[in-house]
């Protein structure tokens, strides 16, 4: 197979997870196997229902107790993230997957749930053919330097500032 790269989607704009899930869909369409680890998140959304249709190609697991941007992380949050990190290690070492996505891993690092060195270790241990995607705001400078592709989502305007709630099928 082809060479795999490390991609990082970061920034304060929306669309990081959406971009990663779009890549997962593209990969599945090409017959590639995908493992998605969602850190911090615990809510099941519309994309989970859609991805279940590709259960033979896409595995998606959540390792979180909910968003922690407005609260302090607790031992339960840390335990969930560490479980996710261990399962990501297993997914990578299994060589069963062509694409591994660490959704919100940058936030998990920034909030102290996992260490940046653990993300760098995953990058360093990735098989040559594996594509690795890391999403979330606050990407550490070391992760940015280790990546082959970095995309920064920058919010210019968003209707949520006018009170529009997340809509099913569009934002959730």
pLDDT at 102: 98
User: Are the C-beta atoms of 85 and 59 separated by less than 8 Å?
Assistant: no
d(CA 7, CA 134): 6
User: Are the C-beta atoms of 129 and 64 separated by less than 8 Å?
Assistant: no
What's the total number of domains in the chain? 1
Residue 141, in any domain of the structure: yes
pLDDT at 1: 55
- Residue 126: give its domain's CATH number: 3.40.50.300
Q: Supply the range of the domain harboring residue 25.
A: 6-162
Residue 170, in any domain of the structure: no
Residue 1, in any domain of the structure: no
Residue 123, in any domain of the structure: yes
By the 10 Å C-beta count (0-12 exposed, 13-18 middle, 19+ buried), 32 is classed as middle
Residue 171, in any domain of the structure: no
Place of tokens 């779009």: 22
pLDDT at 64: 85
Q: What is the pLDDT along the chain (172 residues), one digit of tens a residue?
A: 589 999 999 999 999 999 999 999 999 999 999 999 999 877 777 888 888 899 999 999 999 877 676 778 888 889 999 999 999 999 999 999 999 999 999 999 999 999 999 999 999 999 999 999 999 999 999 999 999 999 999 988 988 888 888 888 887 7
d(CA 164, CA 141): 33
pLDDT at 49: 87
136: Cα separation from own chain's centroid: 7
Residues 6+ apart with CB under 8 A from 135: 8, 9, 10, 16, 17, 19, 20, 101, 102, 103, 104, 105, 106
Residue 168, in any domain of the structure: no
Question: Strands 34-39 and 99-103, how do they pair?
Answer: parallel
CA-based angle 153:155:157, to the nearest 5? 150
Residue 107, in any domain of the structure: yes
Residue 74, in any domain of the structure: yes
2, 5, 17, 82, 144 from 131: Cα distances, Å? 10, 5, 16, 21, 16
């Amino acid at each position: 197979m082809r060479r795999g790269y490390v991609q990082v989607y970061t920034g304060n704009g929306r669309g990081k997870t959406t971009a990663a899930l779009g890549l997962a869909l593209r990969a599945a369409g090409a017959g590639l196997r995908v493992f998605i680890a969602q850190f911090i998140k615990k809510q099941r959304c519309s994309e989970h229902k859609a991805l279940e249709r590709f259960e033979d190609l896409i595995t998606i697991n959540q390792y979180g107790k909910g968003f922690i941007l407005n609260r302090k992380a607790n031992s339960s949050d840390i335990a969930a993230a560490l479980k996710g990190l261990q399962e990501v290690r297993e997914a990578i070492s299994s060589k069963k997957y062509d694409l591994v996505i660490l959704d919100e891993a940058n936030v998990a690092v920034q909030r102290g749930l996992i260490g940046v060195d653990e993300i760098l270790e995953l990058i360093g241990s990735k098989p040559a053919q594996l594509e690795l995607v890391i999403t979330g705001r606050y990407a550490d400078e070391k992760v940015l330097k280790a990546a082959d592709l970095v995309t920064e989502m920058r919010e210019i305007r968003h209707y949520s500032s006018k009170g529009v709630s997340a809509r099913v099928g569009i934002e959730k």
